[in-house]
Structure 1
Amino acid sequence: MPHTELGQKRNETPVSLAVIGSGIIGLCTALEAQRKGCRVTLFDRDEPGLGASFGNAGFLATELIEPLSNPQTLRSALMLWLNPNGPLSLPLQYLIKIAPWLVKFIKAARPKSLASSRHGLIQLNKNSIDAWQRCLDDIDASEQIVNSGYLLVWESSSKLADALKHQDWLSENGIATELVQGRRLVELEPALKETVSHALFFPEACRVREPYELCRLLFNVFMARGGAFVQQEVKQITPSADQVSLKTAADELDAEIEQLYTFKKTIVCAGAWSKKLLEGVGVHVPLEAERGYHLTLPEAGSMLQHSIGSAERKFVMGPLDSGLRVVGITQLGGLKLGPFKHCFNILRHNSSKLLPELEDPSLSVTEWMGHRPTLPDSLPVIDQHPLHPQLLFAFGNQHLGLTQAALTAELIIQLMQEDTSKIDLSPYRVDRF
């Protein structure tokens, strides 16, 4: 069995570090570690940026500070599930397997747990844009963030009170919005003048130009700065007194062909695939693969000026360099099931209700399904192994992986280097469940 050793000397500088996972979290983490003087090797079975990072809406959703598990969600869950055009999907064949996770999800809505989760989200989201600006300024790519603004829209005029109530709640949490109707709404987004009654405008909201291209940019800079990339799946992690060994499958066609790599430190950023790796080192987390769906319409990218969220239909769409991106659906279906065609049809139905021009059959469209790493309390894990501090974890950012990526990277590298953090990391402990 081939054996590759990296970073064996106790006093070696720079420290050898493995980052497992080349999604947006792993890429930001690898770059941040380089900035702090580490010699970094990135591992992934796929090319960089092809997981959940590829398919998101590109919107930096810092206003999402309410955990998914809350009393309102629980009251409406059955109705959302039964709605044929609703955003919630739970395949019957997966119901038994997901049951223990659902119990933890319900418990996360209890007042004390909910308050802790909300605090954890607020900490991350309010610091996320600044972290992205630091990351992109460092690589001369600040243009990758667009200060686009965001519209949360309601189609029914009877829901005006809902918008005002939500605006008050956002204001209490330091998030500025403007209630827009009539002429002001048309000025902001002319394409919605016939379908939307009113909206909340978030003037400070940002998006990225194109999520996948951002991933490729980060990866290219990482490699140019001396990084290494191993396109192999990590099968096993073995921490010892002063190092971490990784066993990989070197050939997908022959799992018996293995390689062993050794590092001073390792960070697991493998998204929805992190659970199995942690179980191998005695750590159990209730991580679920929440399957997300998207449509991209290349010719429709100019139809909207802003990212748009539907308060009633629970989906997001907006312009990217690749076209109009339509994102939605929360499907708790694990890692093995294939895409469900009706989920794409739901996105087609809901987006065309807001933008009737999308019913044009001549418009080309691509479909995608990926796996978001989701924990019951909507918070990520940003922590180290309780017995082996040289093994660290950064995963589970659910719908906010893109939003929180640069900050998550800063926090996990600070923890690795035992630097003081301005953010309380206790809500993100790996053993909190």
Structure 2
Amino acid sequence: MANNPSHDIAVVGAGIIGVACALRLARQGLRVVVIDQQEPGHGASFGNAGHLATEQVFPIADVSILKRLPAMLMDPMGPLRLDWKYLPRALPWFTRLLLNLRPEPFQKTVAGLRALNESSLDAWQRLLSDIQRTDLLKVDGSLLVFEKTESQQAIEALQARLNQQQVPVDYWQAGAIRETAPQLSEQIQGGLFFPRTGHFLDPYRVVCALVEAARSSGVSFLQQQVQGGYVQENGVLLITGSGGVTASRVLLACGAHSAKLTAALTGKQVPLDTERGYHLMLPHEHDRLPFPVTSLERKFIMTPMREGLRLAGTVEFAGLERAANMARAWQLQRLSQGLFRHDLNADGATSWMGFRPSLPDSLPVIDQVCAGKVLLAFGHQHLGLTQAAVTAEMIGQMVSGAAGELPNADAYRLARF
């Protein structure tokens, strides 16, 4: 490794979190390079639901997952799917997930998620204002609806739990829902409205806007695969298909692909798995909904975007290597039937699958280790888009030496594993 590293910080990962962090660090006066084998924004950041989900302060699963395990294995189209062939590899992760649902770790998870989510909307508004692209985000709220009378109790219980966590939430009667979203079906009984949420009109365009701002701030981008690396006395050496990249520090923000490189650089094994998520984009549906709507019973979300209506959701545990099952994306169109007065137009629809990086306690890793030479920002599960801006602020504070000011910082340490 050269005596003088070529960069102050090398960011591995050009998704929404990596790019947001790179921009933040560059504007703090650092020489930054971003490395990814794909073009920026072409991983999970490309096809997410676009929902700024500040209301989601509870873990990704609860103890009912035990009852659902047979269905997860048997139903290839179910909302939560575990591939038979992946079961042996997934069991240790699921075991840790269940252990984290005990009262004490559960409360730590909720506190950690809440601390990030409470700051996420304001952080995004600061970031978009800074790059003069506030037009990319609409803060009109979002809605969780239910159709069955027997779901009323579950909705009321959820509202009570959210109130305990001081999450802004209002109960809407069916009449208020029909007045605001008149194209929804009359069989909808009511729902919960979340006023402090928003949605992005095009998640990929958000990444592109951040990349443009980052380039203007001096960030360089390399489209290469990082195959390994070493922490040395004067910095970090990353091995790519085209040679080596040297930097004083490295930030690992490569989502579901972060575990292997974390082990190589730090010697720590991280229990990171991937939830495969799907979407179906309907290009002829532009005026159906004013804001994102989620179905309690059908377990998927519909988000209005510039290019149409995006149906997103489902969780599939099948690892990083198995081919996508796009029938799961088209299942979302079938799930939408009956939610509207007139069924959605699926002509010209496009399907997509991406990898959500998830840790068994539902919290990300946001930390610095190896004497500050290795920074970590991954494992945000369904909330990568939501928490990207606040994560960038936290990483910026770590690098500037203000880490002691971070909210609930211990909850995101690598050492918890």
Interval containing the TM-score (normalised by the shorter chain): over 0.9
Q: What SS does structure 2 have at the residue aligned with 1:194?
A: coil
Larger CA deviation: 44-53 vs 180-189: 180-189
Write the distance in 1 (CA, Å) between the matches of 2:329 and 2:51: 20
TM-score normalised per structure 1: 0.91
Counterpart for residue 125 of structure 1:
117
Counterpart for residue 389 of structure 2:
406
What's the offset of the Cα at 1:168? 1.7
What's the offset of the Cα at 1:85? 4.8
Write the distance in 2 (CA, Å) between the matches of 1:7 and 1:140: 35
TM-score normalised per structure 2: 0.95
Counterpart for residue 58 of structure 2:
66
CA gap of 1:306–1:77, structure 2 versus 1, over 3 A, is farther
Write the distance in 2 (CA, Å) between the matches of 1:113 and 1:307: 31
Write the distance in 2 (CA, Å) between the matches of 1:64 and 1:75: 22
Alignment partner of 2:324 out of 339, 347, 361:
339
Counterpart for residue 216 of structure 2:
224
CA gap of 1:79–1:163, structure 2 versus 1, over 3 A, is same
Does 1:173 pair with 2:165? yes
What's the offset of the Cα at 1:177? 2.0
What's the offset of the Cα at 1:324? 0.3
Off by >2 Å, runs of 4+ in structure 1: 5-9, 69-86, 355-361
Alignment length (residue pairs): 415
CA gap of 1:401–1:418, structure 2 versus 1, over 3 A, is same
Q: What SS does structure 2 have at the residue aligned with 1:357?
A: coil
Write the distance in 2 (CA, Å) between the matches of 1:137 and 1:343: 37
Counterpart for residue 161 of structure 1:
153
Contact 2:282 2:345 (C-alpha < 8 Å) held by counterparts: no
Contact 2:202 2:306 (C-alpha < 8 Å) held by counterparts: yes
Write the distance in 2 (CA, Å) between the matches of 1:336 and 1:356: 40
What's the offset of the Cα at 1:275? 0.8
What's the offset of the Cα at 1:289? 1.6
Contact 1:242 1:390 (C-alpha < 8 Å) held by counterparts: no
Q: Which runs of 5+ in 1 are unaligned?
A: 10-14, 251-258
What's the offset of the Cα at 1:130? 1.0
Query: 5 Å matches for 1:3-402?
Result: 7-8=4-5, 16-79=8-71, 82=74, 85-250=77-242, 259-281=243-265, 282-355=267-340, 357-358=342-343, 360=345, 363-385=347-369, 387-402=370-385
Alpha-carbon displacement from aligned partner over 1:179-207 (angstroms, at most 9, x marks no partner): 22232111111111323111111123211
Contact 2:142 2:193 (C-alpha < 8 Å) held by counterparts: yes
Contact 1:240 1:388 (C-alpha < 8 Å) held by counterparts: no
Q: What SS does structure 2 have at the residue aligned with 1:329?
A: strand
Write the distance in 1 (CA, Å) between the matches of 2:231 and 2:353: 34
**Letter of the structure 1 residue corresponding to residue 115 of structure 2:** Q
Contact 1:70 1:108 (C-alpha < 8 Å) held by counterparts: no
Q: What SS does structure 2 have at the residue aligned with 1:175?
A: coil
Q: Which runs of 5+ in 2 are unaligned?
A: none
Q: What SS does structure 2 have at the residue aligned with 1:200?
A: strand
Q: What SS does structure 1 have at the residue aligned with 2:124?
A: helix
Write the distance in 1 (CA, Å) between the matches of 2:272 and 2:350: 29
Alpha-carbon displacement from aligned partner over 1:17-64 (angstroms, at most 9, x marks no partner): 111100000010001101211111010000000100111111100110
Contact 2:27 2:217 (C-alpha < 8 Å) held by counterparts: no
Contact 1:411 1:421 (C-alpha < 8 Å) held by counterparts: no
Alpha-carbon displacement from aligned partner over 1:305-360 (angstroms, at most 9, x marks no partner): 11011111111111011210001111111110111133123212112231363454
CA gap of 1:193–1:353, structure 2 versus 1, over 3 A, is closer
Write the distance in 2 (CA, Å) between the matches of 1:187 and 1:44: 46
Write the distance in 2 (CA, Å) between the matches of 1:6 and 1:375: 37
Contact 1:6 1:263 (C-alpha < 8 Å) held by counterparts: no
Contact 1:307 1:319 (C-alpha < 8 Å) held by counterparts: yes
Counterpart for residue 256 of structure 1:
none
